[in-house]
Chains A and B, each alone.
Chain A
Amino acid sequence: MPPGVNEFGQAEGLEAAGWPEFGSEERMLERLREGDDAAYEALLERFQGPVYQLVYRLVDDPNEAGDVVQDVFLKVFRGVSGFRGQSSLKTWIYRIAVNEAHNRRRWFHRHRKAEIVLDGDSGVTNRIELVSDRGRTPYDWTLNGEMRTAIEEALEGLNPVFRSAVILRDLEELSYEEIADILDVSIGTVKSRILRGREALRRALMDKLEPARGLALSPQTASD
């Protein structure tokens, strides 16, 4: 079996980890430790979007995502001198993001859930509202608003443990090995979490869409 390829013939974690402008990831880390502005800028350019996307889907209140992302990168910048390369820089940053999002969600449930919003016109307050008016993507032309809302709600109602695995796999398109590294669990656990997460999403979506289901699902085998 060639190196970097797993038993299923898939590439293992060979994401765009290269840093051509710095030569290698080690050199890039070295520049970060030296306080090179260009290295910091390159790191943000590479990861600020994906990390925001990930955190946005993991926290319960999307308005918190911006603060959490700032905390994530502050930890990354502060911890880069202690990063010894046991994992890739990408999985390390994602791990911090997942942990921060979980911490913030726990904090949110403890402190903020009981708060009452007095200002009813304070603008965007939840994820459904945030995404429902941002049409014009191919997604919007293929799925109607009801379907999109159902997916958002189903994802939001998913157990956070399974949600992390599903989002890392289906939204961030990470390999099982990378997900296992990020969540600090075995490959088998990753498989199990993705399976249970997708099953829960399937049930939730079927329940929501069944009464007015306009989408005809035709059985289709993988060999088709």
Chain B
Amino acid sequence: MMECQQVRLTLSAFQDGRVLDEERRQIREHLARCPACAERLAQLDMVRVSVRSLPKMAAPPYVFLALRSIASKEAARRRYYAGLRGAVRAAAERASLWVNNLMRPVALPAAGGLASAVFLFALVLTNFQGIVRQHPNDVPLAVVTAPTVRSVWFDLADDSEVTLDIFVDEQGRVLDFVIPEDQGTAASHEMRRRLASTLLMTSFNPGTAFGQPVSGWVRVKFRGRSEIDVRG
């Protein structure tokens, strides 16, 4: 059962028919037995009728004239811009048609030429692989690389063969060398002196680890006057 407070909160919606059927039935039941709420509804009805009965105010004539003037100006402005947009659109279409007509005759030859060029380049590209060589000063990109010979002045004065293990520092300088035992060559004192002086004149590219120069051992085999074989 609905209370007065609850009913009064719904009277406005009740007036406008914005309550559900069940709610409407309960409100009617309440109004039938509650004179205070019934009078409240009567007052609200009077308010609604009063507001609805207010005279319809007609706009002064100057407002009508002003509105027509505004409408006329706005319509003219729109027609102008619509015409401008139409002219721009027509010009764009004409330009597009002209470009299309110009390019259409050469479209097939151009596409064929491009495809042929790509095909031929792909064929020739395979023959270019050996041309690209590493520059001596390039920084090696491998994780670890061995030292390499940069320059050498070497003369064993005969065709003998010498194998050395050389310690190269980060600047590529020779710090030490030994003759490996497994090579079995017992070098003479004179030979060792010549090797030492020769290695003083030899420079190396240092070995690298992760792109940074590091010191390390390298095995070098000298043969005769000019042959050299380096193995890291």
Residues on the A chain within 8 Å of B74, using CB:
35, 40, 74, 77-78
* Residues of B1-60 whose CB lies within 8 A of A: 9, 11-14, 16-20, 24, 27-28, 31-32, 35, 38-48, 50-60
Residues on the B chain within 8 Å of A34, using CB:
78-79, 82
The answer on a CB contact under 8 Å between B44 and A222 is: no
The answer on a CB contact under 8 Å between B55 and A40 is: no
Residues on the B chain within 8 Å of A217, using CB:
39, 42-43, 46
Q: B71 within 8 Å of A by Cβ? A: yes
Q: A97 within 8 Å of B by Cβ? A: no
The contact of A8 among B20, B31, B47, B53, by CB within 8 Å, is B20
Stretch touching chain A among B62-70, B140-148, B162-170, B206-214: B62-70
Q: A66 within 8 Å of B by Cβ? A: yes
The contact of B28 among A8, A139, A221, by CB within 8 Å, is A221
Closest residue of chain A to B12, judged by CB?
Answer: A195
CB distance from A210 to the nearest CB of B (A): 11
The answer on a CB contact under 8 Å between A35 and B59 is: no
The answer on a CB contact under 8 Å between B18 and A191 is: yes
The contact of B50 among A43, A62, A143, by CB within 8 Å, is A143
Q: A129 within 8 Å of B by Cβ? A: no
Q: A205 within 8 Å of B by Cβ? A: yes
Once the chains are docked, how many angstroms separate the CA of A96 from the CA of B27? 37
Once the chains are docked, how many angstroms separate the CA of A32 from the CA of B75? 8
The answer on a CB contact under 8 Å between B57 and A53 is: yes
Q: A7 within 8 Å of B by Cβ? A: yes
Interface SS of chain B: helix
- Interface mask (A18-36 → B, CB under 8 Å = 1, otherwise 0): 0000000000000011111
Residues on the A chain within 8 Å of B9, using CB:
195
Once the chains are docked, how many angstroms separate the CA of A10 from the CA of B31? 24
Q: How large is the interface on A (under 10, 10 to 19, 20 to 34, 35 or more residues)?
A: 35 or more
The answer on a CB contact under 8 Å between A44 and B51 is: no
Once the chains are docked, how many angstroms separate the CA of A40 from the CA of B64? 13
* Residues of A39-93 whose CB lies within 8 A of B: 40-41, 43-44, 48-49, 52-53, 56-57, 62, 65-66, 69-70, 73-74, 77-78
The contact of A66 among B14, B38, B66, by CB within 8 Å, is B66
Residues on the A chain within 8 Å of B64, using CB:
48
Q: A211 within 8 Å of B by Cβ? A: no
The contact of B38 among A52, A147, A198, A219, by CB within 8 Å, is A219
The answer on a CB contact under 8 Å between A169 and B16 is: yes
The contact of B63 among A52, A74, A166, A176, by CB within 8 Å, is A52
Closest 8 CB pairs of A and B: A35-B78, A35-B79, A219-B38, A195-B12, A77-B74, A40-B71, A52-B59, A66-B63
Contacts A66-B60, A152-B54, A217-B43; is A77 near B18 (CB within 8 Å)?
Answer: no
Once the chains are docked, how many angstroms separate the CA of A41 from the CA of B71? 8
Once the chains are docked, how many angstroms separate the CA of A99 from the CA of B63? 19
* Residues of B58-104 whose CB lies within 8 A of A: 58-60, 62-64, 66-68, 70-72, 74-80, 82
Once the chains are docked, how many angstroms separate the CA of A206 from the CA of B50? 13
Once the chains are docked, how many angstroms separate the CA of A148 from the CA of B42? 18
Contacts A77-B70, A202-B47; is A35 near B18 (CB within 8 Å)?
Answer: no
